[in-house]
Amino acid sequence: MGLMKGKRGIIFGVANDRSIAWSIAEVCKREGAEIGITYLGEAMAKRVVPLGEKLGAAFTLSCDATDDAEIQAVIDASAEIWDGIDFIVHSVAYAKKEELKGKFYDTSKEGFQLAMTASVYTLISICRIAEPRLTDGAGILTMSYLGAERVMPHYNVMGVAKAALEASVRYLAVDMGQRGIRVNGISAGPIRTLAAAGISDFKEILNWNRDNAPMRRNISQQEVGESSLLFLSDMGSGVTGEIMHVDAGYHVVGMRAVDE
């Protein structure tokens, strides 16, 4: 315990208590971190502001991460209470529901741009805008999915966005590495959350993963939270540009041998 003692960080992307961002916030808090959380737009305030209070968050702010001025406002708010930022979590993604079904080639140009802007460019903006306030050795973490590497049913434009996100992690790792700042990602297995609800037949994906993963189960938000400690604490001080799968091993499976 106490792995995050003395660390101060911002967690972007809390929608509710099922959000991966929320589990990461809870785990980091338990380990001694001071945390600011953000949510998208005032419509979410009703749910997220009480969560911030429950957590004892240093601040709970609305932030549309597609707007650089709103990111800057969050960074400025942190500067009023902290003399630096030790970690950032980017747990933000969006695609229009109609893009998450049917044929990938039917993705509209507008839907493509929206998914890339909200799910990828937001990480790039956050890194650039936060950089002057980041402490040496700070940890940045984003959330990806196996759809970046392989075709997953209905994941479509989000798969392409996650591939771009994972490539961005590597480029950002180079941009930010000189001060020991690390940029990494977790490729999480499927979890029932608000974002996942937008993917057609998501239940099928959950069942398939459960039945075929080496560990024969799905993972929880809490497990992603616990794994995030590797990248956000000093345990991962030598790790950057990495995407770690937290998926009960599903990514290693081609066709599972019949063993029953």
Binding residues for substrate: 95
Q: Which two tokens stand for residue 129?
A: 């805008």
- Please tell me which residue in 39, 94, 121, 145 is annotated as part of the active site: 145
Binding residues for NAD(+): 13, 19-20, 92, 162, 191-195
Q: DSSP per residue over 99-128, as a string?
A: GSSS-GGG--HHHHHHHHIIIIIHHHHHHH
Minimum CB–partner distance for residue 221 and ligand NAD (Å): 7
Chain residues in the site for ligand NAD (CB under 6 A): 13-15, 19-21, 40, 63-66, 91-94, 118, 122, 143-145, 188, 190-191, 193-196
Beta-sheet strands, E only, within 77-210: 85-90, 134-144, 182-188
Q: Is 94 a catalytic residue?
A: no
Paired strand residues for 85: 134
SS3 assignment, position 216: coil
Q: Which is nearer to ligand NAD, 145 or 231 (CB)?
A: 145
Q: Is 39 a catalytic residue?
A: no
Q: Which is nearer to ligand NAD, 4 or 11 (CB)?
A: 11
Q: Which is nearer to ligand NAD, 33 or 115 (CB)?
A: 115
Spatial neighbors of 35 by CB under 8 A, at least 6 apart, are: 8, 9, 10, 11, 25, 28, 29, 55, 57, 58
Minimum CB–partner distance for residue 224 and ligand NAD (Å): 8
Minimum CB–partner distance for residue 187 and ligand NAD (Å): 7
Residues with catalytic function: 145, 155
